Amino acid sequence: MFPRIRTSTSRLTNWLWQQGIGWLNATPHAEDFSPICNFEFLEREIRPADVILFAGQSRVSKVIQSVALSPWTHAALYVGRINDIRDPKARSRLAAYYDGDLGEPLVIESLLGQGTIVTPLRDYRKEHLRICRPAGLTWQDTDKVVEFAIEHLGMGYDVRQLLDLARFMFPYAILPRRWRSCLFQHNAGQPTHIVCSSMIARCFQQVHYPILPLVRNAQNEELRFYERNFRLFTPSDFDYSPYFTVIKYPAWNTGSAPAYRTLPWYQEPETEVSHEQVNPPTPPVLQPTRVAPPETAVATDLTDRTGRTGQRQRLVGLRTLLRQAGLVSFARPVDQQTQH
């Protein structure tokens, strides 16, 4: 009875796990980035051992963007065509994991729910891509990087490492530090699970090619480079690395003329507009009209005001004279006399 219960529980757990992975890998709203990335030109110019960065659109990609604070959520290594692999053992192993055309450009990547697989480059025609090319890498070391990447085919995806990377990017107050991390555990032999950026970093460390090394000054003033733990790398580290050349492929044509002069800029349609419509005449300012009063009314008003003023002046003078003569108490105020 108990074995059946354990089997049923295991099946239910696997089913829930697959459903969760499917939900995380789903893309709610897919966008076509082909208008901003010239995929045909990228496909012609890409070289083996180039690192391809992806700005993913799935739910798990949005989570990685929030945690890593970078638009680049995934990385893959371009290995070229099966026919171009020089080592027979590596060529046969790559062909065992891909049953398509031998002349198809291929990339090796680690995906959640699928592990480390090989994928045709054309599957990412509509994605937002960026190439990070290792500057000065010799063709011998290029072959070693590609061959070591082929050895990772079939490994599972390390979900715990992905969660540990998220834990190290969050404050410990949110995620307790007592949760044990597997990033710094020593694993004897080859790892069995790995993530995309760690797999690529491990390939370049095989030829001691720097990505973001730790640089220290020794006591004798000499610089020393120390390799970082390959599990600590994220896709954006290849973009930040000064040892990788960032190559972009914008959607414009290349030719004899400057590229920016050939861009198909959108212009508003022009319509014929007359000069009067563009610069309409200023309407005249209307002044209020004033009606002149009749001449008789003006003369009458002037006479009335002049007569009253003269009478007031005479009364003021008479009051002053009476005050000087001591008879001011018998004189009425000027205002009362004018009113009377």
Whether the predicted pLDDT of 27 surpasses 80? no
Q: What percentage of the chain reaches a pLDDT higher than 70?
A: 56
Q: Taking residues 17-27, what's their average pLDDT?
A: 67
Q: What is the pLDDT of residues 74-106, one digit of tens each?
A: 899 999 999 999 999 999 999 999 988 999 999
Residue 55 sits at the vertex; the CA angle it makes with 208 and 167, to the nearest 5 degrees, is 70
Q: How confident is the model at residue 132 (pLDDT cuts 50, 70, 90)?
A: very high
Residue 98 sits at the vertex; the CA angle it makes with 94 and 100, to the nearest 5 degrees, is 125
Burial class (CB in 10 A: 0-12, 13-18, 19+), 104: middle
Whether the predicted pLDDT of 284 surpasses 80? no
Of 107-116, 123-132, 295-304, minimum mean pLDDT range: 295-304
Q: What is the pLDDT of residues 217-265, one digit of tens each?
A: 767 677 888 888 888 888 889 999 999 999 887 766 556 667 677 777 7
Q: Taking residues 9-37, what's their average pLDDT?
A: 70
Q: For residues 50 and 63, what is the distance between their CA atoms, to the nearest angstrom?
A: 25
Q: What is the pLDDT of residue 326?
A: 60
Mean pLDDT (the chain) is 75
What's this model's pTM, rounded to 2 decimal places?
0.64
- The torsion angles phi and psi of 245, rounded to 5 degrees, stand at -90, 125
Q: What is the pLDDT of residue 186?
A: 44
Other beta carbons within 10 Å of 181: 15
Q: For residues 156 and 21, what is the distance between their CA atoms, to the nearest angstrom?
A: 14
